[in-house]
Amino acid sequence: MKRRHTRHLRNLFLNRLFRKDPALHALLKKQTRSNTTPVSAPVWHDHLHRHFRMARTFEEPRLSAVDLAVPCSKNQPPPEVLFRRGEQSGWTPDPDEFENPDLSVLEGVVCCQSQNLSAGASSGFDAIPIPFTKHACLPVRCLGKFKQVNVLVPLMARLFRVLLSES
């Protein structure tokens, strides 16, 4: 019953299309929309800035001394007191030390991560398609065999190295 109805509607549509029925062709044309939006661009701009750049009315949580790992003994004051004393004297905790990895290590990490990228994922804010990044490979002869090598991996590894060293 359903197939018969579908065939009937299809045949009816094709007959009207073949006879060049103006009502049917009007339905097939893409509608041109010349209507302007009721909200002007400056109003949208102001609304979005008010919505997404709201002034913070709350105080941001500060790092507490409880959050820091401070070894304490029975004879020492609690970490909060030590941290307050340090703040009053101008002391701030040193940032964590980080040793920049070698370029070869970064290349290995970038290569592994680029192979794990999902080709169907969104490109993000940079608008570079993921398949372009993942499949930018050229055949390279290595030990008598051809191997696909991603040509963007060394460039991205150098970029990450600069970011790590300069930040």
Q: Tens digits of per-residue pLDDT, 10-47? A: 998 888 888 888 887 777 777 666 666 667 778 878 87
Amino acid letter, residue 74: K
Give the start-end residues of each E strand in the chain: 137-142, 145-150
- Ramachandran quadrant class, 11 (left: phi over 0; alpha: psi -120 to 50; beta: rest): alpha
Give the pLDDT of residue 140. 85
pLDDT computed for residue 159 by the predictor? 92
Q: pLDDT at position 56, please?
A: 55
Task: Show the low-confidence residues of the chain (pLDDT under 50).
Answer: none
- 């029925």: which residue's tokens? 21
For the chain, percent helix, then strand, then coil, each to nearest 5?
45, 5, 45
How far is 11 from 5, CA to CA, in rounded Å? 10
> Among residues 82, 54, 59, which one has the least CA distance to residue 70?
82
The pLDDT value given to residue 18: 84
Amino acid 31: pLDDT: 67
Residue 4, classed as helix, strand or coil, is: helix
Q: What is the pTM of this model?
A: 0.43
What CA–CA distance (Å, rounded) separates 135 from 148? 9
- Predicted pLDDT at 148: 87
pLDDT score at 2: 84
Tokens at residue 144, please? Answer: 């008598």
**pLDDT of the residue at 8:** 92
Q: Which amino acid is at 108?
A: G
Task: Give residue 62's pLDDT.
Answer: 58
